[in-house]
Amino acid sequence: MKKILITALSAALWSTGSAFAATPDATRTEVTRLLDAVEKSQCQFNRNGTWHDAKAARAHLQKKYDYLDNKKLLTNTESFIERGATASSMSGAPYQMRCPGTAVVNSADWLKAELARVRK
């Protein structure tokens, strides 16, 4: 009886594991396109009070994406923006984008706008 109960419990836990599923392919594609856009943007990226060029911004966001992907914490592209590309996990300070000829904006707003363009 105990073995049946343990087996049933294991099966139930396994079936609810969708929250820990691999990142969907569509999300991987969209995030790659967003990171490409960051790198090609000629914008600067503010992280913890220091401005970085677009290439460094992409590298940092790629590391954050890789971490979240490996932990199976991404369900869609918006979850990447919210969990990895909005603010510093160390200080909590929001990331910012400063692009030529435009005002400084929070990276989440910039990435959401770019995601809308990617999806058109």
pLDDT at position 26: 96
pLDDT at position 21: 79
pLDDT at position 115: 98
pLDDT at position 11: 44
- pLDDT profile of the chain (120 residues), mean per 10: 46 45 94 98 98 98 98 97 97 97 98 96
Residue in 33, 24, 35 with CA at minimum distance from that of residue 76:
24
* Phi, psi angle pair for 3, to nearest 5°: -65, -40
CA dihedral 68, 33, 87, 82 (to 10 degrees): -60
Residue in 100, 85, 91, 2 with CA at minimum distance from that of residue 49:
91
Provide the β-strand partners of residue 111: none
CA dist., res. 100 & res. 97, Å (int): 10
